[in-house]
Structures are given as structure tokens and as C-alpha cells.
A and B are shown apart, each in its own frame.
Chain A
Amino acid sequence: MADALPMRDTAHRKDAPWLTLKMREAMEAWLFISPTLAGFLIFFVGPLIAVVWYSLTEWNLLTQQATFVGLDNYNDALFRNPDFWHVIRNSVVFASGLVPLNMALALALALALSRPFRGVVIFRTVFFAPVVTSAVAWAIVWKFLLQGEAGFINQILALIGIDGPNWLREPNWAMVAVIVTRVIKMVGLNMILYIAALQAIPRDYEAAARLEGASGWQIFSWIIWPLLGPTTLVIMVITTIGSFKVFDHIYQMTGGGPENGTLVLAFYIYQQGFQFFDVGYASALAMIMFVVVMVLTLVQLALRRRDT
């Protein structure tokens, strides 16, 4: 290798004597990353810039007529449209319900399934399977189970004397139903991340703590939980982002109803852009969503830094 490099260098110098070694290396590096960079620019940065531009226009998808309106779309969403704040409230309620429930359940499952025991793989598979199940099939099955009086869930509740609500037809219960069914669908992913993190914790720590007489709860709260910190942060960030972006689940299960009780931001953006063809307004809403998610992520990162 030591011999090969100067030879290659000499050859290059003959072709392009004005290039220094540093410049050549930089050029090679750019060439290597260029396919990924091109994809990133074309499929991420480009559309992002386009959305910023669209958000400053009144653009009808069907007529293809666009007029520059400056910040009017933002002004309308933030100060003139009462539906927008209702939608933001719904998104916050959805995220506030989903994120803690998902994380708590994922951690509980991971603690139960991180150690090897007979059949552990089957249990892990059972809890992970909904993650890879079609969202449409999942929603259809749950809609069926959550029917009113004739629904399976309500019939089970009736057996123990509980008169279940009409889950998907009452605004508050519909929100509970979409949160819980979403948690059941996605919890397997976070469970796997927690299992991986738990398995990376050296057993010696726990053994040493037990020798010192620590209880199970003390081991969890003083050793395991702090060591899970980085994983918890990642899970919290991706689950929060995911909860603000939820669309398919709402589209299939409630269509934003009843009484707009589950009309969340991503669905509202879809409605404005692809049902009302108002691409400019939808783009402004998408930019607001981008900022909200970005701020939440930065806050979470800042809190984590302060804790450590």
C-alpha cells in the first residue's frame, strides 16, 4: 500500500499537475458522496425549497394557476382560521397520548422480553408483527372490532357489566381509540430498540448491584434507566415526529371525524392540498408542521443535554 500510493499520485500529477494532493483527495471524496448528495438535493432539499415557494403562493392544483401572495397563507392559518388551532390542539392531544403510552409499553415489553426464555422469539414476533402489517388492513379490522353495540370490544365489555361507548362515533372516545390502536400497531418497533439497548448493558453492573443488596426497582432506576437514556431520547424524538405526521391511520379509521375530533395536522394538510386543491395553503401548513416538529426535537435534545 505504501508503495502504491506515491505511484498513483505521480500518475495523477502527470494528468493534472496543477492539483495538489489535498485537492485531489477532496475531489475523490466529493465524487464518492456525489450519488447520495445528488439524491439528497433532488429529493429532499429541492422539494423543501419548492414547498417554501409554494407556501408563498395561492396555487390551485387543478387550474395550475399560481399567484404570489407573500405571507398571506401563514397569516390566514395562524390568525384567521379557527380550524387551524383546533387541528393543532388535536395533534398535541394525539402526541401527548401516544408518545408516553407507546414508550411506557415498549419499555415494559422490552424488560419482559430482553432476557432469553422459552418462547421469547414467539412473543417478540407477536408484538412486532403489527408494525409490518398493512395499515389499511389494521384499520379495517379495528373499525370492525370497535363498532357500537355489536362490536367485539363492546360485547366483551358487556360480559363484565360495562356499557362501552360508540368508540369511533364520539369525538373523545374516537381520539382514545385512534391513539390506543396506533400504539398497539407501532409499539413493537420501540420495543426492539429498547431490547437492543438493554442487551448492550453489561450484566456485571446488575450483578455488582445485587451483591451490594440493591432491589430490582433500585437496579432499574439507578442503573438501567440512566443507561437507556440515549435510546430513550432517540425513541422519544422519532415517536414524537411520527405522531405529528400520522396520516394513514386517521384517514382509514375516522377520516378526521367525528365532529373533527380526530382531525390532526397531517390529515388537514392532505385535505387542503388534495381534496380542496389549495396547494399553496397546504404548503404553508406543511411548513408550520416542519417548524413545530423541529422545535420539539430541539427542545428534547436540549433537555437531554441539560440532564447529562
Chain B
Amino acid sequence: MNTTMKRMTSTALALAMMSGSLSAAELRFTIWTGNEAHLKLLNGFAESFKAKHPDVTVKYETIPPGDYTQKLTFQLAGGNPPDAGWLMEDAAPTFAAAGVLENLGPALQKAQGYDFADFSKPALGLWTAGDKVYGVPFSTSPFVIFYNKDLLDKAGLEDPNALAAKGQWTMVKFQEVAKTLKDATGKWGFEFKDGQGYDTRIMHALMPPIRAAGGDVWANKQCGFDKPEAVAAVKQLHDMVFKDKSIAPPGEQGDYFSGGSAMTINQISRASLMPKAGFKWGIAPLPTGAGGESPVIGQAGIVVFAAGKQKELAAEFVAHMTTKENVAGAAQFFPPARKSVLDSDAFIKSNNLIPPEQMKVVGDAISKGKVLPAHEKSPQILAAMKPRVDALWRANADVDASLKAVCAAIQPLL
């Protein structure tokens, strides 16, 4: 090969390499999990996306859940937006109203065999406005009761699932069971979600009993905390904390997962903590009340940021992540919003920690449940609620007055 040929060949090679690097793209995707199994699943989606886009890599960036929304906001405000990411339900209306989320509708329509109609309509409530789709729910996880079977047996109590099958798993029964558990075992009968029901999880503490009683925290821009159903539900909780002393009170840690409390409310993702718990356990539906069965669902969605530089590619990746096949693959960790997956046997058998008959509880709750309330001004509403709810959690509190104060504080924001 003469010198001219060598030069031409090396120039051609260099150009080829350059063009390769130009077409290669990296999508930055924010998440709040660091769990190895979750990351393996997500990396699997990135790998399978290569079938259509061999030059595209996806870089997942984990931000701790407590700081997630805030750090995401800083990235957007600082001109360094990720291309796509997870978004919590309480942030969805705020982000959508601020215009920082890309409409995914066209990309989902374009995706072959996507079947958008397969998503349950109530599950899409937070993520759609008219024909615009601001996010696709990837986890539609109902709240369930986790119970300690050993402590129930010790107290001579029936399994909550057996009670539910007979239609006897009501809020009245739940109060009775919690008190018996406390009296018989010395452990707390019940603990709010992650022991944070008086602080960061006030909505998770109050919402399920209020909905069971047939009320709601707000609806149609009207505060519901001071309505008779909500007042009755909160009074019952208050009695359980201060009269029965069966719920771990403010300032005390119950810690269900280490056996300090006989029951708690949580989502199935927490089942991953159970193998280390060292006791027999199970999950049951939420107790019913005057409002009948009213499962409450926590949700998270996948969104594409309007300020991102690769919006179309990112939207295509979101469509890929949420195909029927991939949603089914993720269902063991993240309960699906796709009806076809929810109704499938594969979903009922997907979680190796939870037996199929109890996974059915999860499936039923998703199909019948309502998502936790969210609002464009969620942070302000929660901040306005917090001091009034603090006043509620005193032994001598006037529950009616406290709930009226909650409504007075949040009504202007609704």
C-alpha cells in the first residue's frame, strides 16, 4: 500500500469513527431506587432498546427518594435536565402545570402494538389531560395491611384474609383486632406506614380510613376533612392511638419489620424486607367501612422532560419500557396499570415472596382502588395541613376543631 492509499484509508476510518460517535446517544434517566434487582431490570430495558437503536445507551441516575423531586427541580432550573425519569404522584400535577413535561401521546401512538387503551383509565388520571399524556404509570401500588401471623396466633386471632373472605374485615373489626393484639402481646397493634404517619406520611395515615368511611380528603376543590365521614374516621383512629393505645403513638417507633408492631400499612415493594423479618407474615386488604371497599393506591410514572435535548428518543424509550412485555416483566416489583397484565396468571405468580392468593389482593385493589390525592399545590397544602394535623395528635385534642382548622388552612389553596 503506498503512502497516498494509507492516508486515504486512515482518513476514511477516522471519518467512519466520527460518524459513529455522532450517531451514538446517551439518555440520562433519573430514578429513586438503588436496589440491585431493580437496576438489573432497568438495564435489561436499555439493552433490549438497542435492538432498534444500537448506538443508544441509557444512564440511570439514582437520587434518594427523600430529595428526589427537589433535586430534579434543581436540575431543570439549572439547565441540566435529564432526558426522562420517574416522577412521584404528588409531584405530577405541579410538574404538568409548570409545563416541564413533554406530551408523550404522539410517541405512544406511533409505537407498534403499544395498545394504550390497555392501561386502566383511573390509573391514568394523574398523567393525562385531554388527549395529552404527560407520563406513563410504571408502578400502581395499592396499600395493603401487612400482618405478623405469629403475633395474631399468639393472641388467638383469626387471619385478616379469612375475615375479609367472610366480609368481616371492617374498620370496627380492625380496631378490635389491634386492641386485642396490644393487650395480648404487648406489641403495638398497628403502626402507620414506615412509622411516619405523624410526619411525612400524614396523608398515608389519614386517607385509607377516611375513604373507607366514605369520605375523601378533598374532592372537586372542596376540602373533605371536616365532613362527617372523615371526622368519624379520624375520631376512630384517635381513639385507637390514645384510648385503646393500640397504634404506635406520636414520638414512638413501632417498627413492624423487626416485630415491634403486629400490623402496618404499606405497599408490596416492602415485601423485600420480609425475608429478614424472622416471623410468619401475610398481606391483607384494607379494612372496609361505611364507604365499602375503598383501596388506596400510590403511584409513580415515567415522564420525559420538555427541556431535554433528546425528547423524541426519550419518548420512544418510555414507550419501549412500558410495552405489555416489559410491564409484565416489571410487575414483580412494580404493580402494573395495564389491564392485560393485571388479569394475567403471570402477575399473580410474579412475586416469589407473596403467595398467589395474596397477590390477588393486590390485583383486586388496583382494579377497584383510587389513587392518593394529588394537587398542583401539593407541597403548600401539606405544609398548611401539617401544624393542624400535629394539633390533632394530642390525647386531649378536639378532633372536630382540628379538622375544621385543616380545612380552613387548605381550602384557599384548593
> Does A pair with B?
yes
A57-78, CB < 8 A from B: 60-64
Q: Does B249 have its Cβ within 8 Å of any Cβ on chain A?
A: yes
Instruction: Tell me whether A61 and B77 are in contact in the complex, defined as CB-CB below 8 angstroms, given that A148-B251, A148-B252, A275-B379 are known contacts.
Output: yes
**CA–CA, A144 to B253, complex, Å?**
9
Interface centre among A63, A144, A276 (most CB of B within 10 A): A63
Output the nearest chain A residue to B386 by Cβ-Cβ distance: A257
Interface of A is mostly: loop
User: Does A147 make an interface contact (CB < 8 A)?
Assistant: yes
Nearest residue (CB) in A for B70 is: A274
The answer to whether A62 and B70 have CB atoms under 8 Å apart is no
Q: Which of B95, B249, B383, B386 contacts A62 (CB 8 A)?
A: B95
A51 to B124, CA, bound (A): 40
Residue count of chain A within 8 Å CB distance of chain B: 26
Q: Is B387 an interface residue (CB 8 A)?
A: yes
A148/B73 contact (C-beta < 8 A), A271-B383, A276-B380 known? no
Known: A148-B252, A255-B199, A257-B199. A276 touches B98 (CB 8 A): no
- Which of under 10, 10 to 19, 20 to 34, or 35 or more describes the interface residues of B? 20 to 34
A274 to B251, CA, bound (A): 27
Within 8 A of B (CB), among A151-168: 151, 166-168
A62 touching B379, Cβ below 8 Å: no
User: Does B390 sit at the interface, judged by CB under 8 A?
Assistant: yes
B-facing residues in A250-296 (Cβ within 8 Å)? 255, 257-260, 271, 274-277
Q: Is the CB of B390 within 8 A of A257?
A: yes
Residue A169 at the chain B interface, CB threshold 8 Å: yes
Contact A168 B73 (CB under 8 A): no
Q: Is A149 an interface residue (CB 8 A)?
A: yes
Cα(A150)–Cα(B187), bound, Å: 12
Q: B63 in the interface, Cβ–Cβ < 8 Å?
A: no
CB neighbours (8 Å) of A169 from chain B are: 198, 250-251, 390, 393
Question: Which B41-95 residues have a C-beta within 8 angstroms of A?
Answer: 70, 73, 76-77, 94-95
- B 280-312 binary contact with A (CB < 8 Å = 1; else 0): 000000000000000000000000000000000
Give the residue name and chain of the A residue nearest to B200 (CB): A255
| Residue contact A257 to B387, C-beta cutoff 8 Å | yes
Least CB distance from B281 to A in Å reads 23
Scoring A150, A258, A260, A276 by chain B CB atoms within 10 A of each residue's CB, the highest score goes to: A258
With both chains docked as a complex, state the minimum distance between the C-beta of B215 and any C-beta of chain A, in angstroms: 24
Q: Indicate whether B100 reaches chain A with its CB closer than 8 angstroms.
A: yes
The residues in B between 355 and 406 inclusive whose CB is less than 8 angstroms from any CB of A are 379-380, 383, 386-387, 390-391, 393
In the assembled complex, the Cα of A40 lies from the Cα of B332 at a distance in Å of 54
B106: Cβ under 8 A from any A Cβ? no
Q: Does B99 contact A (CB under 8 A)?
A: yes
Given contacts A63-B99, A255-B199, contact A166 B251 (CB under 8 A): yes
Nearest-CB residue, chain B, relative to A263: B387
16 A–B contacts from the bound complex (CB under 8 Å): A60-B98, A62-B76, A62-B94, A62-B98, A63-B99, A147-B252, A148-B250, A150-B252, A166-B250, A167-B251, A169-B393, A255-B199, A255-B200, A257-B390, A259-B391, A276-B383
Besides A169-B393, A274-B70, 18 more A-B contacts (Cβ < 8 Å) are A62-B94, A62-B95, A62-B98, A63-B98, A144-B253, A146-B251, A148-B249, A150-B253, A169-B198, A169-B251, A255-B200, A255-B386, A257-B386, A258-B250, A271-B383, A275-B379, A276-B383, A277-B379
List residues of B whose CB falls within 8 A of some A CB: 70, 73, 76-77, 94-95, 98-100, 198-200, 249-253, 379-380, 383, 386-387, 390-391, 393
